[in-house]
């Protein structure tokens, strides 16, 4: 029997890789995990956590304004971007320590440096070689930057977390969730935001009513959205900042250009091509239902496989992988009815099918929908509405989709996701007593 240094060597200490390392090591598996940057991956360092902290910061401008309607006199307020970033950095550093402590307590060996696969059982990190029975690639994704003239001036979501100062004006390119979130963050912090969207709507793949409603709300907040717009070049402006040239030859002056036009699997430079690990045309690692590549000893999960690119999904895939490899009986990952949220302003959250997808699958769909002014905004003076939508299969009465745009949408939909996965019917929702007065109670009082 071949003796390896480790039973499992993990490349990438993001959410998925760390969960695998901790869970496997606590079961007695000999685990090493290599990371060339910081522990925690995108979520902790360049995504979920710091992004949500910036979202909180951006919401105070509305809260100060709303306070007047409730009898508060709020004095002159100022915002200090460097202080926010310093505090954010301190919290991220704290999480680095938490992750390292947990890995060490579990018994996993943490190795710093870029890992390269030499063969199907050997990894090199910082000049040292390590052999392993199995290798897991969990290196996540990286922001995509297009090949256009002046792309050296582009910043991505990664860079936004470390800006030394806020711009007065920014152009954000993209119509996905990262673009929506940063447009809202910067708008809330007083930046003049222009959103350039290549298509005629934002958030491709989301429910049509949600897409339209969010665009309306963002426009009301002063975000300039330019649909059917494509940038063909960026150059420095004689008046400082940048001049952005559009496909119709017009130009927009701005202080900063951010691209949020997708992320690509972080699979290059790992030695995968030399081992003939199968990749798709976008560079994503191809895996089977057990997260195994075409090389039996090499596995992959999370964003580097470019399937469902969400932190909780990578974590759940990690749990499933450890169960499959080292636990009995194995438990498969269920990709149905995964809830998701976008922390723009207002928030979006949903679970289950869009109306369009539901109509493709069923011929008897009922739609329950409401738009209303939340109670808080009756006094706040803020012109922000809430949209809630429920999709029901008439023949079975089963609820197959729930969508929301409005304050605390993610907090509300998390509970709704449990109901959807449990197979709740519209009758069960109708028989549930609401908590009054809340926005959430609307989901148990919806009618046509």
Catalytic center residues: 436
Q: Which letter does DSSP use for residue 144 in this model?
A: -
Lookup: tokens for 93? 């550093």
Cα pseudo-dihedral 24, 27, 30, 35, rounded to 10: 30
Lookup: tokens for 429? 């929702």
How many angstroms separate the CA atoms of 149 and 380, rounded?
A: 46
How many angstroms separate the CA atoms of 20 and 64, rounded?
A: 43
Q: What count of other Cβ atoms lies within 10 Å of the Cβ of residue 326?
A: 15
Angstrom CA distances, 330 to 57, 104, 312, 320, stand at 43, 26, 19, 7
How many angstroms separate the CA atoms of 11 and 269, rounded?
A: 12
How many angstroms separate the CA atoms of 65 and 55, rounded?
A: 17
How many angstroms separate the CA atoms of 12 and 428, rounded?
A: 43
How many angstroms separate the CA atoms of 293 and 142, rounded?
A: 21
Instruction: For residue 83, give every residue at least 6 positions away whose Cβ sits within 8 Å of its Cβ, in sequence order, or none.
Output: none
284 closest CA partner among 117, 115, 120, 138: 138
Asked if 20 contacts 48 with a C-beta cutoff of 8 angstroms, the reply is no
How many angstroms separate the CA atoms of 179 and 198, rounded?
A: 12
Strands of 70-154, DSSP E: 109-112, 115-119, 122-125, 128-137, 141-143
Asked if 209 contacts 351 with a C-beta cutoff of 8 angstroms, the reply is no
How many angstroms separate the CA atoms of 213 and 129, rounded?
A: 54
Per-residue buried b or exposed e for 154-192, using 16+ beta carbons within 10 Å of the residue's own CB: bbbbeebbeeeebbebbbbbbbbbbbbbbbbbbbbbebb
């Amino acid at each position: 029997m071949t003796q390896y240094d480790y039973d499992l060597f993990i490349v990438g200490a993001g959410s998925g890789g760390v969960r695998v390392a901790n869970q496997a090591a606590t079961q007695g598996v000999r685990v090493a995990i290599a990371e060339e940057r910081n522990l925690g991956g995108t979520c902790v360092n360049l995504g979920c956590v710091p992004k949500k902290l910036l979202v909180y910061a951006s919401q105070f401008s509305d809260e100060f304004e709303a306070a007047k309607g409730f009898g508060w006199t709020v004095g002159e307020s100022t915002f200090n971007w460097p202080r926010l970033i310093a505090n954010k950095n301190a919290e991220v550093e704290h999480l680095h320590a938490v992750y390292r402590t947990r890995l060490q307590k579990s018994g996993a060996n943490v190795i710093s440096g870029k890992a390269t696969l030499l063969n199907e059982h050997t990894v090199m990190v910082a000049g040292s070689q390590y052999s392993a029975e199995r290798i897991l690639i969990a290196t996540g994704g990286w922001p995509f930057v297009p090949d256009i003239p002046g792309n050296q001036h582009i910043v991505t979501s990664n860079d936004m977390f470390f800006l030394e100062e806020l711009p007065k004006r920014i152009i954000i390119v993209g119509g996905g969730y990262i673009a929506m979130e940063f447009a809202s963050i910067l708008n809330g912090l007083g930046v003049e935001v222009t959103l350039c969207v290549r298509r005629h709507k934002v958030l491709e793949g989301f429910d049509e009513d949600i897409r339209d409603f969010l665009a309306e709300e963002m426009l009301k907040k002063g975000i300039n959205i330019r649909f059917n717009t494509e940038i063909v070049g960026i150059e420095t402006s004689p008046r400082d900042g940048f001049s952005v040239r559009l496909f119709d030859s017009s130009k927009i002056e701005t202080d900063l250009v951010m691209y949020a036009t997708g992320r690509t699997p972080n699979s290059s430079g790992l030695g995968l091509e030399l081992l003939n690990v199968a990749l798709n045309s976008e560079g994503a690692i191809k895996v089977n239902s057990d997260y195994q590549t075409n090389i039996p000893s090499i596995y992959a999960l999370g964003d580097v496989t470019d399937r469902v690119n969400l932190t909780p999904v990578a974590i759940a895939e990690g749990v499933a992988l450890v169960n499959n490899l080292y636990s009995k009986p194995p438990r498969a990952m269920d990709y149905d009815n995964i809830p998701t949220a976008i922390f723009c302003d207002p928030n979006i959250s949903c679970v289950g099918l869009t109306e369009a997808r539901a109509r493709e699958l069923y011929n008897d769909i009922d739609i329950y929908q409401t738009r209303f002014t939340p109670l808080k905004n009756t006094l706040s003076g803020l012109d922000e509405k809430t949209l809630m939508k429920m999709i029901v299969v008439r023949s079975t009465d089963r609820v197959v989709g729930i969508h929301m745009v409005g304050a605390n949408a993610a907090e509300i939909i998390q509970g709704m996701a449990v109901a959807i996965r449990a197979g709740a019917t519209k009758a069960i929702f109708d028989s549930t007593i609401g908590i009054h007065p809340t926005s959430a109670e609307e989901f148990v009082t919806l009618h046509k």
